[in-house]
Amino acid sequence: MHISSVTRTGIDWLLAGLLFAPLTVIADAAKLENGRLSMPLVDDNGQTVAMELQLQPGTFPPRFNLLDSRLLRERLTLDSPWFDGDILVIPEVLIDGTAYWAELEDKGRGRFDVLRYGINASWFSGNTVGTYEHAGWQRVIGEAGDVGVGADGSVWVVGAEDRHGFRSVFRRGQCGWQDFGGDGARLDVGPDGAPWVITNEEEVWTLQHGRWERVHGRATDIGVGADGSVWVTGVNTRRGGHNIYGLDEYGWFRIDGAGVRIDVDPQGYPWIINDDDEIFRFTATGWEKLPGKGKDIGIGADGSVWVIGADERTGGYGLYQYNGLDWDRVRGSARQVSVGWGQPWVVNRDGEIDRGLSW
C-alpha cells in the first residue's frame, strides 16, 4: 500500500494547454490549487485513500511531497487516480478550470516526481458526439441503456428514455448519433453492422436494408458472433435464468442450460452468465464453468472476452478481461459491455458511454 506521495513544481509545465477548451468539472476530481495537489479518491491497490501533495518550488521535473493520506470507505469513480506499481496515474487533474492528466513516480519517503503529463482534449460535433480521454478510456458524449459493437466496428446503442418513456436505437457516425427509432432494451450487432434488438416487450427485431424486420419469438438478451451466429436467452424462467436458443435457417433451436446474459465467440459458441452471476461457455463437449462472477459479458471478433464483474463500484461493477485461465482486473466500472475487434465499449450506471483505447 502506497500511503505516500507526490510533489509538484509550479504550473508552468501545463500552460501550453490553454489552446484547448476546458472540460466540465466533475465531483471528486483531483485539483491543483496554490501548489497543493488534492486527490479526494485514490485507488491504492484496492483500497480507497484520500491524498494531498505539496509542490516543491524550483524543482524540475516537478516534485511533490506527501502532506496527508488517509483510508476512506467511499467508492471510487472511473476518473479516480490509481497506482500502477510505483506509478500514480491521474487521469484528470483540474488546474485553473482546465483538465489535464499526469503520471507521477513514487520515489519513496513521500516523494513523487512527475514523469509525464498532458491536457485532456475535448471536441464536439453537432449536439451529440464528443469525447475526452482519461485513463485508457475515451468518453463518448451521449447516454445509453445498452451498447453493441459489430465485427466491422459499427457501434449501436439503446438510448436514454425520451419524454414518452421510449428508448430509441442509435448508430454512431462521423456526425453524431443517428436515430433509427424503435424501443429497445438490449441489443447486439452482427458482423455486417446490422443491429439485433430486444424490445421492452421482449420482441426480437433486426434492421435489414434500412427496414426493421420482426424475428419470430421472444427473448430477454441477445448475442451475435463475428461469424453471424445469433443466440438469445428466452423468456421462460427456470433455474439459472432463462432457456437458451440459437438461430438457424429453420428458426430457433434450444440447447440445455439457462442464463440471463449472453454473447457469442467468433466460432459461434455462446457464453452465458446465469442468475447466480456464474460464467459458462459452451464447447463441443458441453458447458464449461469458468472462474469468477459477472453481471454482463462481451466478446470481440478477435476472441477477447470481457465481463462486468459482481463487485459493486461507483459506475456499476468492476471490469475484467479473460486471460485464458482467469480474469484480469481492468481500470474502471460499468454496467454493460460490448467488444468490437478487441476494443471494449461500456455503459456505466449513469448511462455514460466509454470506449477503451489501450487494448
pLDDT at 204: 97
Q: Which amino acid is at 16?
A: A
How many other C-beta atoms can be found within 10 angstroms of the C-beta atom of residue 173? Answer: 13
- Collapsing DSSP to helix, strand or coil, 15 comes out as helix
The residue assigned the cell 501548489 is 35
Q: What is the dihedral of CA 200, 182, 266, 239, to 10 degrees?
A: 10
Question: Which phi and psi angles does 18 have, rounded to 5°?
Answer: -65, -15
Longest Cα separation, the chain: 75
The answer to whether the beta carbons of residues 295 and 288 sit under 8 Å apart is no
Give dist(CA 303, CA 281) in Å, integer: 13
- Return the CATH fold of 126-356: Neuraminidase (2.120.10)
User: Which cell numbers in the block locate residue 316?
Assistant: 456499476
Q: What is the pTM of this model?
A: 0.68
Q: What is the pLDDT of residue 85?
A: 85
As beta bridge partners, residue 305 has 299
Burial of 19 (0-12, 13-18, 19+ CB in 10 A): exposed
Residue ranges matching CATH 2.120.10.30 in the chain: 126-356
**298 backbone φψ class: left, alpha, beta (φ>0; ψ -120 to 50):** beta
CB 204 within 8 A of CB 213: no
Q: Please, are residues 157 and 352 in contact by the beta-carbon 8 Å criterion?
A: no
Mean pLDDT per block of 10 residues along the chain (359 residues) reads 38 32 48 94 88 91 93 77 89 82 92 84 36 67 94 94 76 85 93 96 93 95 98 96 97 97 98 98 97 98 97 89 95 93 94 85
pLDDT digits (tens, 9 = 90+) for 197-255: 999 999 999 998 888 999 999 999 999 999 999 999 999 999 999 999 999 999 999 99
Look at residue 118 in the predicted model and tell me its pLDDT: 75
Report the C-alpha gap between 333 and 159 in whole angstroms: 19
